[in-house]
Amino acid sequence: MYFMLEVIILLFLVIGFICLVVMLFTNKFYVFGGLSIISFFIYFMMVGDGSWVTFLLFLSGIFLLILEIFIPDFGLIGIAGFVLLALGYLSNQNDLWGSLFDLGLAIVIAVITAYILLKKGYTFLPGKSSLVLGTSLQKNRGYSTGRDYTIYLGKTGTAVTTLRPSGKAEIDGKVLDVLSDGNVIREGASVQVIHVEGIKIIVKELA
């Protein structure tokens, strides 16, 4: 009975990390992010002293590690995140070595999950391109892309790769880097250019 309880507790930790990985490979940020927080919360309440402080330290560490991906600052945010994560996790544990084993196992499973998603064609941080190019690159603001992609507006073509949401599509005889309108578009599907903003070409799937 005790062994089964330990397995269930470990399962919440594993699920938390798996949801975290899936969140970074899909556009379902709030869904899998929420599931990850819930799983980690249940885990922390079931082990050690179940302190809110240690849980918030752990959660803050994860947040800073994710933030490090988007904000290049020579690793300072990442280091701070790692310290908070380790401090929050280890401060809540009674069995240090057993806890390190559980954390290591959960991370290994998370890495395997990431590898499987990559093999299936998912892209790490699929929305990152939209964050990097979040400022409108319009000619009337002084930007110049060197090429006018508005000539493809309204034209149809075929998805050369699966768009999750970024990928490639053949439009008007040319293979271009495109973004879907938010939905996953499978390879070979017919698409139409619905919006062009600077170098961003956004397409939708045709029924």
Q: Which of 120, 140, 173 is the last residue of a domain?
A: 120
Q: Is the pLDDT of residue 182 over 50?
A: yes
pLDDT of residue 45: 85
- For residue 177, tell me if it sits in a domain: yes
Per residue in 151-163, pLDDT tens?
Answer: 898 999 999 998 8
Examine the domain organization and report whether 19 and 61 are in the same domain. Answer: yes
Q: What is the 3-state secondary structure (H, E, C) of the chain?
A: CHHHHHHHHHHHHHHHHHHHHHHHHCCCHHHHHHHHHHHHHHHHHHCCCCCHHHHHHHHHHHHHHHHHHHCCCCCHHHHHHHHHHHHHHHHCCCCHHHHHHHHHHHHHHHHHHHHHHHHCCCCCCCCHHHHHCCCCCCHHHCCCCCCCHHHHCCCEEEECCCECCEEEEEECCEEEEEEECCCCECCCCEEEEEEEECCEEEEEECC
Domain with 194 in it: 150-205
Examine the domain organization and report whether 28 and 109 are in the same domain. Answer: yes
What's the average model confidence in pLDDT over 122-147?
A: 50
- CATH number, residue 182: 2.40.50.140
Examine the domain organization and report whether 31 and 69 are in the same domain. Answer: yes
Examine the domain organization and report whether 181 and 89 are in the same domain. Answer: no
Examine the domain organization and report whether 15 and 116 are in the same domain. Answer: yes
Examine the domain organization and report whether 98 and 164 are in the same domain. Answer: no
Number of structural domains (the chain) is 2
What's the average model confidence in pLDDT over 127-134?
A: 43
Per residue in 68-105, pLDDT tens?
Answer: 877 755 578 888 988 998 888 888 777 777 778 888 99
Examine the domain organization and report whether 109 and 169 are in the same domain. Answer: no
- For residue 23, tell me if it sits in a domain: yes
pLDDT of residue 138: 46
What's the average model confidence in pLDDT over 137-156?
A: 66
Q: Is the pLDDT of residue 123 over 70?
A: yes
- For residue 135, tell me if it sits in a domain: no
Average pLDDT value over all residues in the chain? 81
What's the average model confidence in pLDDT over 159-188?
A: 88
Examine the domain organization and report whether 101 and 24 are in the same domain. Answer: yes
Examine the domain organization and report whether 18 and 114 are in the same domain. Answer: yes
Q: Is the pLDDT of residue 194 over 50?
A: yes
Per residue in 38-63, pLDDT tens?
Answer: 999 998 888 866 678 888 999 999 99
